[in-house]
Amino acid sequence: MDRRTFLRRAGLGSAGVAAVAAPVGTYALGHHLGATQLDGNYQQSVRAGQQRGAVNVWWSVTTDERVLALTFDDGPTKQFSNEVMDVLDRYHVPATFFLIGKLVEKYPDHVARMIADGHEIANHTYDHYSAATQSIDEVRRTVELGADAVASVLGDRPRWFRPVKGHITGTLLSAAASIGHDVAMWSVSRDPGIGTEIDDMVGVRTNYVDSVHEGAIVIFHDGIGRSGFDLTGPDADLMLARRTEIDALPDVVERYLEEGYRFVTTSQLIDGFGRFETDDPGAGDDGGGDL
């Protein structure tokens, strides 16, 4: 069974996004090529639903064109960000960087280079805590402060937000909506749940290449989470895992190019190829609006 048939039978259809109801309210859910679980405190999720509005959550888009968005989380860092940008510059490909606010404040020159090189920058919270472990006020604070840190360099709050570890709660969606964020997840990563060793560069490269598909959002990392600014210093295992990803990056980019993929930013992918499905014959097919 091909991917399109699977998604259609799963009720997600072929146009790119389905509407999903949840205790937190209603929001647009992007294609997710596999199972997911909404982690977090149920009470805070229910409380977060006492409002009106919507936020769009994307894992990928459905298209027949060989196009993808390359994304990087957890930067900027002195260890990896410039190296990643050097690789992207070598192959003339754009990316979207999901940045930690504390590190934006620490390395504004790295962020300035991302912007100058034509990359898109986005919010990945201020201090890189999972929403599943935080109170309502803590979630809202970290999302807002992360957006403001990016705005201090960009000039405006960014369009995109990505939750830490991919953990989605009602409070997080509420905070993202209040700022005007859309939420970008991912459909291709270094390890699709098969337990690839942190130092297995060949395995990581193979996972990226074998999992790619038209309309993918691909996640790499140019940072090391909270260990990029904690007093304990960089985590050795996490450093090795990131080193492995970045060592694989040039080969992965080359393979994508050889297979005819075109690289775009997350905004270009969603704006150019994202579509919402609806059962309302009077509604448009290009998404948006309160649900």
Q: Residue 290: pLDDT above 50?
A: no
Phi, psi of 69 (to 5 degrees): -110, 125
Residue-number span of the structural domain to which 95 is assigned = 3-273
Angstrom distance (rounded) from CA 200 to CA 81? 21
The pLDDT, as a whole number, for residue 276 is 59
Assess if residue 264 is contained within a domain: yes
Q: How many contiguous H segments (helices) and E segments (strands) does the chain have?
A: 10, 10
Assess if residue 288 is contained within a domain: no
- What's the CATH code of the domain at 148? 3.20.20.370
Alpha-carbon torsion angle 164, 200, 107, 88, nearest 10: -100
Assess if residue 37 is contained within a domain: yes
Angstrom distance (rounded) from CA 162 to CA 58? 10
pLDDT band at 272 (very low <50, low <70, confident <90, very high): very high
Assess if residue 266 is contained within a domain: yes
Residue 2 CB neighbour total at 10 angstroms: 7
The pLDDT, as a whole number, for residue 280 is 40
CA 165 centroid distance within chain: 10
pLDDT tens digits, 185-224: 999 999 988 999 999 999 999 999 999 999 999 999 999 9
Assess if residue 283 is contained within a domain: no
Provide, rounded to the nearest whole percent, the portion of the chain with pLDDT above 90: 70
Phi, psi of 224 (to 5 degrees): -130, 40
Question: Cis link prior to 76 (omega < 30° from 0)?
Answer: yes
For 60, which DSSP code? B
The pLDDT, as a whole number, for residue 153 is 97
Q: pTM of the prediction?
A: 0.81
The pLDDT, as a whole number, for residue 285 is 38
Angstrom distance (rounded) from CA 22 to CA 19? 10
User: Encoding tokens for residue 221?
Assistant: 């990392």
Phi, psi of 201 (to 5 degrees): -65, -40
The pLDDT, as a whole number, for residue 255 is 98
Domain tally, the chain: 1
Contact at 8 Å (CB) between 23 and 171?
A: no
Assess if residue 100 is contained within a domain: yes
More confident residue, 167 or 233: 167
Angstrom distance (rounded) from CA 279 to CA 268? 26
The pLDDT, as a whole number, for residue 42 is 52
Amino acid of residue 49: G
Assess if residue 33 is contained within a domain: yes
Angstrom distance (rounded) from CA 71 to CA 93? 11
Catalytic residue numbers read 73, 221
pLDDT tens digits, 260-270: 999 999 999 99
Assess if residue 278 is contained within a domain: no
